[in-house]
Amino acid sequence: DLPLEWKHPDKWLNWQTNPSGKVHTVARVRESTYSPGAGANGADHPVSWCRDYDGGRSFYSAMGGTADSFA
């Protein structure tokens, strides 16, 4: 089990359209812990989510953008 707050350095993406409200968010990133740059998503910045799709379910994760993610 992961703790409520898990420190994981990674390459975080900013979403042009925030998927919150259309998906079940599994994990969020705190933008205060890095420099989000232009297009920051703010306090609600999902990085993993799942949703019902076409009679099934789908899962997405933006985590894993660095080699350390797989070490």
* Number of domains observed in the structure of the chain: 1
> Would you say residue 28 has pLDDT above 90?
yes
Q: What pLDDT score was predicted for residue 30?
A: 92
Structural domain boundaries, residue 53: 1-71
- Name the helix (H) or strand (E) containing 25: strand 24-28
Quick check: 22 and 51 in contact, CB under 8 A? yes
Cα–Cα nearest to 48, from 62, 36, 34: 62
Determine the pLDDT at residue 66.
Answer: 86
pLDDT band at 67 (very low <50, low <70, confident <90, very high): confident
Q: pLDDT exceeding 90 applies to what percent of the chain?
A: 59
Per-residue pLDDT band at 70 (split at 50, 70, 90): confident
